[in-house]
Structure 1
């Protein structure tokens, strides 16, 4: 501007300049148009995308939250089918205390001499059973589970079922203990131990404990009574029945224990009738194996299982007899009970055992009918059994069947 309209300068004369701007008007027109276009583009693209992202997050987050909740619910359902969550041991303990007394860990340690090996009564699949002596000079049986985390469901079932259902042929649960990772169950002490202790194993050459025939039929009767009651009244199947699960008191009254694998058949849907039948008949089959063990006096191995510590060859022999429709089992019957006037009764019980292990589950009898049959067999032995041998004190009458229902709950 200082050189405006000055002569003598090189080049042509500049045109007049005004003071409005250093830029041409076209620049501003272009600039304004660009700004307007950019703003319009932002409103058209960016604002809707921001809103979309906002709405998407509002949809995805609850969806993910719902999926995580469903996974958690499935895990809980798999862990405890009884709908009991062991979030904290205190919660579980308070729940169980409504059914069974809680016992102190310190007192149980003292009673078992701190779980000494000298007090071991037996080894099971889920725990070790110890003999415990309490201050009043009486004995208890204390079961200490191996792994609290691994056997959570077993512990709850073994606590809940005996705690809620009391019967003369179900092992009575006196108390429980939850202490950190320890899970302990306390039962009445059974002076005659387990039924398997009275059976000859494959690696034993001579049987030191021998059961008479009246004791054997009495044990069969008690087991049939308990299973009938569980199936009809409680809608429970044991699914782990064996001679190691049968405890004998001083009167040889059998007590079923080990309910860690049990199931509640009333919780199944109506369209699962076939599955319920399979589960019930599994108990019938296992009961039939116990009958064979009582008759042969030996610990048997079902041909569907793999047990190399028991006499599997004998079970295979019996199965061959069954499949060939041969009822001549005289060569496998325990010689200590034959020739004493019971042979016809032994044959009758053999027929019941064969019916229980038939391959087709539709051909197997119901436990209620089995109980009726064995109860009729027992009638001739009860006077002798009561007066001369055991002097049983019957809490409930033996005849517990009214039609198809079990009336007496002991």
Structure 2
């Protein structure tokens, strides 16, 4: 609507002083004010006139602030990204200098560590976890705080290409009752393997407790360890593409995780050592320990050699001590012989159980375990069950009749120990 005003300033003032005014135009014809919706601006007589629209002061200040905020925000983002880039570069440089560098993977499963990597992770191999026929094992920590066990192999004469091939094969073997191989190191004559760390160490450390603070393993835990170990060996013997014979089954090579789940360690290492394995045998305790009679007789070694060793270990799980024990008077007690004789004479199977358990065991499970042990240590490997059958016996799906006392045990009872110690 037209309004009397003699200047653009007065026209603007007239609109601002009326709260219903939404816009104004001042031109040669005078001052025009708009009220309500701006639907009739086409009524302007002259084209090209400037239309002034009234807006809230908050919108004007917000617009100004936004125009200022945009360059400030862009600058802040750019600065943050630059700082983040510097931090990432710093972390990368630190990692290259003082932590384990994750290098080439073998078949997508194993990590090839440098010797320097493992030396740093293990603090110069300062904390030893154990040692055996194949080498010593040390505790280590990766940069992400993952605990590892680093085994420094001894007696490896294979070239790098063959070693990598053998290690690659071991790395593809995965089972809940086998220790997982994480990686390896192959530099010059240095050969190392990197495994998952087992919180509860070896079965041996619990059966022969040097630390009085450790509580004796209850029967259920022992039974589950025996069953889990049998499953792991059955997998190696019967489910892998090529049968893998462990050759060194004993409590030291059965590791326990945080939940006491058993993991067979050092599988596949006999093949890595190749011809050097005969030298390794001299470090073992002989037939009275875990070696099957065929090791001495020169017969070809089969998976049944592991079955024999496993059976000997079962006796130690039952008794909670070494099979062979010397007393102060010089006499030696051989537990498998004593236990087999006692049960054959009709004694309660609980009488052969570790005294520390005070008879707290499932009699049926104990009987199955004892019979499985006796069948596993038969002199003739033909009479020994497979590890798959051992699993079925322990699970109760395959009934094991009372076993005969092996001839080797009878010789011990008769005092004819030449056969055993030769």
Output the CA distance in 2 between the equivalents of 1:156 and 1:313.
45
1:220 Cα deviation after fit: 0.9
Q: Are residue 288 (structure 1) and residue 306 (structure 2) matched?
A: no
TM superposition score normalised by structure 1: 0.56
Q: Please give the per-residue CA displacement for 1:125-177, whole angstroms capped at 9, x wherever unaligned.
A: 22111111122222111111234438999966972443122111111000101
Q: 1:327 to 1:288 in 2, by over 3 A?
A: farther
TM superposition score normalised by structure 2: 0.55
Work out the number of aligned pairs and report it.
263
Asked whether the 8 Å contact 2:223–2:365 carries over to 1, the reply is no
Match of 1:217 in 2: 223
Asked whether the 8 Å contact 1:355–1:365 carries over to 2, the reply is yes
Q: Please give the per-residue CA displacement for 1:103-141, whole angstroms capped at 9, x wherever unaligned.
A: 12222111111112xx11111222111111122222111
DSSP-derived class of the 2:193 partner: strand
Match of 2:139 in 1: 131
Asked whether the 8 Å contact 2:104–2:112 carries over to 1, the reply is no
Match of 1:261 in 2: 270
Q: Are residue 186 (structure 1) and residue 194 (structure 2) matched?
A: yes
CA RMSD of aligned residues (A): 3.7
Match of 2:153 among 145, 148, 161: 145
DSSP-derived class of the 1:214 partner: helix
- Structure 2 segments unaligned to the other structure (5+ residues): 1-102, 273-297, 398-422
1:356 Cα deviation after fit: 1.0
1:320 Cα deviation after fit: 5.2
Match of 2:237 among 205, 228, 231: 231
Match of 1:318 in 2: 336
Asked whether the 8 Å contact 1:169–1:223 carries over to 2, the reply is yes
DSSP-derived class of the 1:261 partner: helix
Match of 1:159 in 2: 167
Asked whether the 8 Å contact 2:184–2:193 carries over to 1, the reply is yes
Q: 1:152 to 1:337 in 2, by over 3 A?
A: farther
Match of 1:345 in 2: 365
DSSP-derived class of the 2:270 partner: coil
DSSP-derived class of the 1:279 partner: coil
Output the CA distance in 2 between the equivalents of 1:97 and 1:124.
29
Q: 1:97 to 1:298 in 2, by over 3 A?
A: same
Match of 2:117 among 107, 114, 120: 107
Asked whether the 8 Å contact 1:239–1:279 carries over to 2, the reply is no
1:373 Cα deviation after fit: 2.1
Asked whether the 8 Å contact 1:162–1:171 carries over to 2, the reply is no
Equivalent runs, 1:234-383 vs 2, <5 Å: 234=240, 235-259=243-267, 260-262=269-271, 279-300=302-323, 313-314=332-333, 316-319=334-337, 321-322=339-340, 325-326=344-345, 328=347, 330-376=350-396
Match of 1:389 in 2: none
1:341 Cα deviation after fit: 4.9
Bigger strand fraction: 2
1:233 Cα deviation after fit: 1.6
- Structure 1 segments unaligned to the other structure (5+ residues): 1-92, 264-274, 378-410
Output the CA distance in 2 between the equivalents of 1:375 and 1:161.
30
Asked whether the 8 Å contact 2:245–2:303 carries over to 1, the reply is yes
